[in-house]
């Protein structure tokens, strides 16, 4: 009787873990539609689930599916948080000039990491000229889009194909990006006039863009 009860408990636990994996994988597929990750990279959600399930099996704990999902959904990819001072860096721009982040104190700065192969990045960039640059022209605001992990030649071909003329930074070795995060684009960071990070966003949706724009407007009103 004890062995039968034990088998039933193990079976029930297995069902809970399968349900958790199925739910989180669905969330991962939804997230992939708004973010870009390299095709040969294990999704962070899947990695988190795998780690959580191994812990369950090893320690024989009885986590619920909700607890497994919470463990898997934690964003451990960020290396800075809201409230931190923005890391110091100097980025080479597409035109050959250089911008030092420390020199932008007193301005609101929007740092955007993107890549030409990333569909959500491309969708977001289409909104930049009209929704961001033109909107805040003449104000103490800098939009700083930085191409992550690509050569100047790749960016040049993309700019020509899309007809973009606004400034872009280059980060071919991901040295600047690695100060902010370890994976996933597009990523957006909003920095206030004192150099403090006030917003971090990953992925692109029209609502996320609108929210960032509203935050820029609020910061500029505080001057």
- Of the candidates 195, 218, 206, which has an alpha carbon nearest to the alpha carbon of residue 80? 195
Burial of 9 (C-beta count, 10 Å sphere; 0-12/13-18/19+): exposed
**Domains of the chain, residue spans:** 2-73, 90-221
- Least confident among 42-56, 125-139, 164-178: 42-56
Question: pTM of the full predicted structure?
Answer: 0.71
Task: Kindly state the average pLDDT of the residues 14-37.
Answer: 50
Interval 95-147: pLDDT, tens: 999 999 999 999 999 999 999 999 999 999 999 999 999 999 999 999 999 99
CA distance 199 to 190: 5
What is the gyration radius of the CA atoms in the chain, in angstroms?
Answer: 21
Q: Is-contact 189 200, C-beta < 8 A?
A: yes
Kindly state the percentage of the chain with pLDDT values over 90.
65
Task: Please report which confidence band the pLDDT of residue 36 belongs to, taking 50, 70 and 90 as the band edges.
Answer: confident
Q: Looking at residue 76, what is its pLDDT?
A: 65
> Which residue reads 């930074």 in tokens?
169
Q: Where does 90-221 sit in CATH, by number?
A: 3.40.30.10
Query: Each residue of 188-207: b (16+ CB within 10 Å) or e?
Result: bbbbbbebebbbbbbbbeee
Sign of the alpha-carbon dihedral angle for 127, 133, 134, 136: positive
CA distance 63 to 66: 8
Long-range CB pairs of 182-185 (<8 Å, 24+ gap) are 182/77, 182/79, 183/37, 183/41, 183/44, 183/77, 184/35, 184/36, 184/37, 184/44, 184/77, 185/35, 185/36, 185/37, 185/113, 185/114, 185/115, 185/118, 185/120, 185/121, 185/148
């Amino acid at each position: 009787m004890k062995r039968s009860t034990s088998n039933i408990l193990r079976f029930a636990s297995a069902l809970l873990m399968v349900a958790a994996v199925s739910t989180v994988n669905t969330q991962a597929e939804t997230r992939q539609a708004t973010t870009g990750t390299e095709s040969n990279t294990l999704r962070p959600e899947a990695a988190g689930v795998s780690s959580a399930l191994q812990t369950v099996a090893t320690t024989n704990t009885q986590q619920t599916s909700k607890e497994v999902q919470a463990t898997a959904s934690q964003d451990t990819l960020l290396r800075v948080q809201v409230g931190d001072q923005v890391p110091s860096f100097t980025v080479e721009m597409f035109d050959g000039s250089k911008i030092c982040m420390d020199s932008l104190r007193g301005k609101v700065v929007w740092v955007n990491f993107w890549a030409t192969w990333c569909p959500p990045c491309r969708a977001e960039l289409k909104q930049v000229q009209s929704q961001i640059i033109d909107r805040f022209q003449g104000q103490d605001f800098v939009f700083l889009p930085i191409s992550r992990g690509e050569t100047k030649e790749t960016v040049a071909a993309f700019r020509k194909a899309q007809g973009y003329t606004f400034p872009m930074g280059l980060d071919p070795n991901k040295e600047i990006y690695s100060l902010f995060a370890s994976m996933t684009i597009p990523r957006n960071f909003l920095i206030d006039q004192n150099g403090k990070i006030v917003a971090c966003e990953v992925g692109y949706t029209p609502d996320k863009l609108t929210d960032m724009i509203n935050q820029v407007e609020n910061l500029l009103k505080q001057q």
